[in-house]
Amino acid sequence: MGSRAVAVVCGTPEAAREWFGTAATGIVYTRTGRRFFADAGMQEALLSRLREAIASAGLWDELGEWAVLDCEILPWSLKAEELIKSHYAAVGTSGSPPFSCSRAPRAPVLAGTTSGT
């Protein structure tokens, strides 16, 4: 299972400036419109691979100077790792008991028997 993303990929920096008014050759968004990657280097690595794949398939001639791709980024933990750290780490920590149980747990009573006999 992956994380849903929308990638806007420009074939060249010139195309990015002409169409979008920026030198960035693309961006990856979440399905809710937020930046997918906090790390710009990771985003650029993905965009570079997408750009190369589009070029090697000969799709720039067919698509034009830019493309929007509906993607599934795998593994899902690539996106979720930061979410887990920032939102759920405190919950996980609070669930850890600060002390151990001083008494052994009671043995379960089986149906048809009586305890202590």
Q: What is the reported pLDDT for 94?
A: 57
On whether residue 42 sits in a domain, the answer given is yes
Q: Give the total residue count for the chain.
A: 117
What's residue 70's pLDDT? 94
Amino acid (one-letter) located at 117: T
Looking at the domain assignment, is residue 114 inside a domain?
Answer: no
In a domain, 110, yes or no: no
Q: What is the DSSP string of 54-101?
A: HHHTTHHHHH-SEEEEEEEESSTHHHHHHHIIIIIHHHHHHTS-SS--
Q: How many domains does the chain have?
A: 1
Residue ranges of the chain with per-residue pLDDT less than 50:
none
Q: What is the pLDDT of residue 1?
A: 64
Classify residue 117: in a domain, yes or no: no
- Residue 17 near residue 79 (C-beta atoms within 8 A): no
User: Does residue 50 sit within a domain?
Assistant: yes
The answer to whether 28 and 72 have CB atoms below 8 angstroms apart is no
pTM above the 0.85 mark? no
Residue 102 lies in a domain: no
Is 116 within a domain? no
**Structural domain harbouring 15:** 3-91
Let me know if residue 101 belongs to a domain.
no
